[in-house]
């Protein structure tokens, strides 16, 4: 059995939205997952404020990195690479993480890997369930994304099959929670109320499920509007809004469409497993319905534990470790944040970057060569 110390040790930094996440991974083993959240600072605004998020990242960055290294029981000098979310995400927030990663990589003489946020959400499952099958079918659902992705190599080949054409699933949860006066963020509170409601109480619409609609694309804007109007009509008539039934029926409409399309994609592409990631993957009803439908279709379901579904540094470190293990080219130190980085680019290789044969001394020498070339 190979010595685990021969596997790449990578620090990952995630700042695409309101979570300052720092993870340390050795190969496919999670050593530390430190998170500093600024969600409470955004709650009074009913959503994430980019400038507030960026300032919170600045304040949290160094202590969160120090905490992650301490939790992992490793020194910064032990690292084989530094990975960071280069996009997509909020431009200002991304810049804080990218700047920090470049500073650490330069100071330590380690290779830098700018990676894709969405590909990282897929790769994090390796920390829980082992190496990803190839190809991998992934359903990613979060506040900013609802996507069906097919990957034959998480470090170089991720193909989008479908995506939301308007609101993402998580965004719809936030908006309906706001209409119901349940606060922010909406996902966890809707999930909680829905457990005590009837998912069949109200027949809310299922977007883009007609025979002529795009097979794998999603739309939640119409659903959001239908739920809001239903609530407004009740209030206008002076009737009490059955919050739990509304939450359950709305949630059922969302997860019904997500799971139906994901299982269909697996069947159409001949893939016998499905990975679900992103913040909404923590939703208990989504997990239950996906499990039920996958079992019926003979599909194996892989869903990381809830803490690994939300934005975190562990997922970035996981993809960074895979980049090192597969000798992918490192990024240049003039790496830029790209708020709209396409998922077809799992990482951003440098124009003059070398590939890295994994060993502590060689990685260090090649990194120094990159710095001074």
pLDDT value at residue 351 = 80
The per-residue pLDDT for range 118-141, each reduced to its tens digit, is 999 999 999 999 999 999 999 999
Q: Tell whether the model's pLDDT for residue 180 goes beyond 80.
A: yes
Average pLDDT of the residues in 57-85:
97
Structure tokens at 158: 């991720």
Q: Is 317 exposed, middle or buried (0-12, 13-18, 19+ CB in 10 A)?
A: buried
Q: Measured on CA atoms in the order 362, 364, 370, 373, is the torsion positive or negative? A: negative
Asked if 351 contacts 332 with a C-beta cutoff of 8 angstroms, the reply is yes
Per the annotation, binding residues for substrate are 140-144, 174, 187, 191, 283
Buried b (16+ CB within 10 A) or exposed e, 196-211: ebebeebebebbbeee
Query: How far from each other are the two terminal CA atoms of the chain, in whole angstroms?
Result: 38
Q: Which residues are annotated as a binding site?
A: 117, 121, 140-144, 174, 187, 191, 283, 311
pLDDT at 366: 36
Domains of the chain, start order:
4-124+312-372 (3.30.420.40), 133-305 (3.30.420.40)
| Cβ pair 346, 156 in contact under 8 A | yes
Give me the pLDDT at residue 365, please: 37
Phi, psi of 279 (to 5 degrees): -55, -40
**What is the C-alpha separation between 26 and 155, in angstroms, rounded?**
17
Specify the pTM: 0.89
Residues 228-245 have a mean pLDDT of 98
> Quick check: 43 pLDDT over 60?
yes
Average pLDDT over the chain reads 91
Q: What is the mean pLDDT of residues 249-264?
A: 98
Q: With pLDDT > 70 as the criterion, what percentage of the chain qualifies? A: 91
- Reported as a pLDDT band with limits 50, 70 and 90, residue 263 is very high
pLDDT at position 181 over 90: yes
Residue 355 pLDDT class (50, 70, 90 cuts) = low
The per-residue pLDDT for 370 is 37
Q: Does residue 19 sit in helix, strand or coil? A: strand
Q: How many CB atoms lie within 10 A of CB 95?
A: 18
C-beta separation of 315 from 22 below 8 A: no
Q: What is the enclosing helix (H) or strand (E) of 208?
A: none
Q: Which helix (H) or strand (E) holds 142?
A: none
Q: Which residues are documented as binding site for Fe cation?
A: 117, 121, 311
Alpha helical stretches, state H, 135-220: 169-179, 186-194
Q: For the chain, how are helix, strand and coil distributed in percent, rounded to 5?
A: 45, 20, 35
What is the C-alpha to C-alpha distance for residues 79 and 74, in angstroms, rounded to an integer?
A: 8
User: Do the Cβ atoms of 147 and 136 come closer than 8 Å?
Assistant: no
């Amino acid at each position: 059995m190979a010595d685990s110390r021969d596997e790449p040790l990578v620090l990952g930094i995630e700042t695409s939205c309101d979570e300052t996440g720092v993870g340390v991974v050795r190969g496919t083993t999670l050593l530390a997952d430190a998170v500093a959240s600024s969600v409470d600072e955004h709650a009074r605004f009913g959503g994430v404020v980019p400038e507030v998020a960026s300032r919170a990242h600045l304040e949290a960055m160094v202590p969160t990195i120090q905490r992650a290294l301490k939790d992992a029981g490793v020194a910064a000098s032990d690292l084989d690479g530094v990975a960071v979310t280069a996009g997509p995400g909020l431009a200002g927030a991304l810049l804080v993480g990218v700047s920090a990663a470049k500073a650490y990589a330069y100071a330590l003489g380690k290779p830098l890997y700018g990676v894709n946020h969405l590909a990282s959400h897929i790769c994090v499952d390796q920390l829980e369930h082992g190496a990803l099958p190839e190809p991998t079918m992934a359903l990613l659902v979060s506040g900013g994304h609802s996507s069906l992705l097919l990957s034959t190599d998480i470090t170089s080949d991720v193909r989008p099959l479908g995506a939301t054409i308007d609101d993402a699933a998580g965004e719809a949860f936030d908006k309906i929670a706001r209409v119901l006066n349940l606060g922010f963020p909406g996902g966890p509170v809707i999930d909680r109320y829905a457990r005590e409601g009837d998912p069949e109480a109200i027949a809310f619409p299922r977007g883009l499920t007609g025979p002529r609609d795009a097979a794998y694309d999603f739309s939640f804007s119409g659903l959001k509007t239908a739920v809001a109007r239903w609530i407004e009509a009740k209030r206008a008539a002076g009737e009490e809004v059955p919050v739990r039934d509304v939450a359950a029926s709305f949630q059922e409409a969302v997860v019904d469409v997500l799971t139906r399309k994901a299982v269909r994609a697996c069947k159409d592409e001949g893939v016998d497993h499905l990975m679900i990631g992103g913040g909404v993957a923590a939703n208990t009803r989504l997990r239950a319905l996906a499990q039920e439908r996958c079992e019926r279709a003979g599909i194996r379901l892989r869903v990381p534990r809830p803490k690994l579904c939300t934005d975190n540094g562990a997922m970035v470190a996981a993809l960074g470790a895979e980049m090192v293990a597969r000798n992918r080219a490192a990024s240049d130190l003039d790496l830029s944040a790209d708020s709209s980085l396409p998922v077809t680019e799992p990482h951003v290789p440098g124009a003059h970057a070398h590939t890295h044969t994994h060993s502590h001394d060689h990685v260090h020498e090649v990194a120094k060569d990159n710095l001074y070339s």
